[in-house]
Amino acid sequence: MNEMPSDPVERMVAITLTHHNIRYALNVVSPVSNRRTLDFFLPDYGMYIECKRFATDRLHEQIKDLTNVIVIQGIEAAAAFDRLLTQVYDNGYNAG
């Protein structure tokens, strides 16, 4: 099991992913740039998630060369992400 992030938005996303048995890695270095890290990588989906509490100038730099990134900005957006996944999984959707 992954450790829980200290940032509240990241923590909510981690709890959501764990609840839905979605595998993830934390603080992954971008494959395009060895300098930038992203909050989550979902290996089964080949997708990244970057979380922010509010808008930052750094966000564009982190994601500019990647195509598969979900950006979750704010605790309300993280809660909506949780509700969305719950609705999808409660209806029997399986990406596999």
Domain ranges across the chain: 8-86
Measured distance CA(18)–CA(21) in Å, rounded: 5
Q: Which whole number is the average pLDDT over 60-85?
A: 90
Q: Which residue in this structure is represented by tokens 């704010």?
A: 74
**What one-character DSSP code corresponds to residue 6?**
S
Residue at 26: amino acid letter:
L
Higher-pLDDT residue of 94 and 67 is 67
Q: For the chain, where are the E strands, in sequence order?
A: 25-29, 37-42, 47-52, 69-73
Helix, strand, coil % (nearest 5) of the chain? 35, 25, 40
What pTM was estimated for this model as a whole? 0.84
Model pLDDT, residue 90:
77
CATH code of the domain made up of 8-86: 3.40.960.10
